[in-house]
Chains A and B, each alone.
Chain A
Amino acid sequence: MAGLRGEVSWFCCGNAWGPCGTAGHGACGTCNSGSWQHAWTNTSDACYAITRPDRCGITGVSRRTCGFRHATTNLCNGARVVTTIADCGPQTDLFCGERACCGGTCASNRVIDLTPAAFSAIGSLNAGLIPCNVEAG
């Protein structure tokens, strides 16, 4: 898979407080907010039927299964984190065409969600959404 440019956000999983309390451990059964993990849009046919990045014009997202490593680079500051697949997501087609920018650097469409531990290693959680590049890690 060539590098995939898009938006990265974060999601909670595992035991948690507040609205995250019912999140569960994700499609792989291993997801925890405190671990370096991520959600991927193409972990199975059933997953892809939900996320549908192709509806946003993103084709060729490789099928990757639980435990596969991806490296996500924050295009705002160059910080990079390597994580493993622990869930299905994000639901790309709900936000087709959306852009995240910092300075003059922008990227469109959601391609990956990181756990809070992983996202906070490359950016601030309150940023919510940042442009990124994703490649096999």
Chain B
Amino acid sequence: MTNTLDRRTLLTSAVLGTTATLVGATAMGSLAPETAFAARSQSPEPGAPDPNFAEGRVTARDGSMILVSGSDGRFHRIRLTGGTSVWKLRPTTLDQVKVGDGLYARGVLMPDGTLAAESIWVNIVNLKVHVTAIGKNVLYLDHSGSRIVGHVVPGTSAAVYNGKPAVSDLSMVKVGKHAQVIGAWRPDTNEIDVATIYAAA
């Protein structure tokens, strides 16, 4: 709990401009969500919307503030800080958040209604699929009856076979098999880039 309060104070300070930099945040430990959220207390009621979470499409960006139109009709103002971790196919930088992107964001709801973001995942999808065909650097996938093109990105895309450590070799992904794909959606084409595919070898 102490860690949670410290992080809240830190983010609050950062948003209010009373902290010169969030680089020092790492002195408290990693800002990666795996560790950051381990200390978070249970805030919303089970089943209820999480006020510290936002989802939707980016409609505008003004410096460190991004405006997001939620799929449920709500609007969110999300504040990016030096301590915000960004994932868009891979861990990346704040400038990669673009108008039109979809996102999930987790952070701290501030008194002014903005969400001070600890982590945002841009265009991330998690699809249970059936592999229908394989081409050069492309997977053709069926997801709940919809055809999805999945691009293999050399140097980035990885495969996890039977829980073993991720490898760059996707050659054991087989047509006709089920798989799970973590990827990044391409808003302009509705295709995806494959980050990780979980499959049986």
By CB atoms of chain A within 10 A, which of B104, B178, B192 has the most? B104
On whether the beta carbons of A35 and B49 are closer than 8 Å, the reply is: yes
Complex-state Cα separation, A111 to B47, whole angstroms: 19
On whether the beta carbons of A121 and B40 are closer than 8 Å, the reply is: yes
A106 contacts partner chain B, Cβ-Cβ < 8 Å: yes
Looking at A16-24, A42-50, A55-63, the stretch in contact with chain B turns out to be A16-24
From known contacts A34-B49, A81-B42, A98-B198, infer whether A125 and B104 are also in contact, taking CB-CB under 8 Å.
yes
On whether the beta carbons of B71 and A76 are closer than 8 Å, the reply is: no
B18 contacts partner chain A, Cβ-Cβ < 8 Å: no
Closest chain A CB from B66 CB (angstroms): 15
- Which residues of A lie under 8 Å from residue B128 when comparing CB positions? 11, 90-91, 94
A97 contacts partner chain B, Cβ-Cβ < 8 Å: yes
From known contacts A10-B126, A123-B34, infer whether A17 and B53 are also in contact, taking CB-CB under 8 Å.
no
- Which residues of A lie under 8 Å from residue B37 when comparing CB positions? 77, 79, 120-123
On whether the beta carbons of B53 and A95 are closer than 8 Å, the reply is: no
- Which residues of B lie under 8 Å from residue A106 when comparing CB positions? 163
Closest chain B CB from A121 CB (angstroms): 6
Prevailing SS type, chain A contact patch: mixed
By CB atoms of chain B within 10 A, which of A16, A74, A137 has the most? A16
From known contacts A18-B187, A79-B37, A106-B163, infer whether A33 and B104 are also in contact, taking CB-CB under 8 Å.
yes
On whether the beta carbons of A77 and B38 are closer than 8 Å, the reply is: yes
- Which residues of B lie under 8 Å from residue A32 when comparing CB positions? 49, 72
- Which residues of B lie under 8 Å from residue A35 when comparing CB positions? 44, 47-50
Encode A1-45 as 1/0 by CB contact (under 8 A) with B: 000000001111011111110100000001011111100000000
Encode A62-82 as 1/0 by CB contact (under 8 A) with B: 000001010000101111111
- Which residues of A lie under 8 Å from residue B198 when comparing CB positions? 95, 98, 128-129
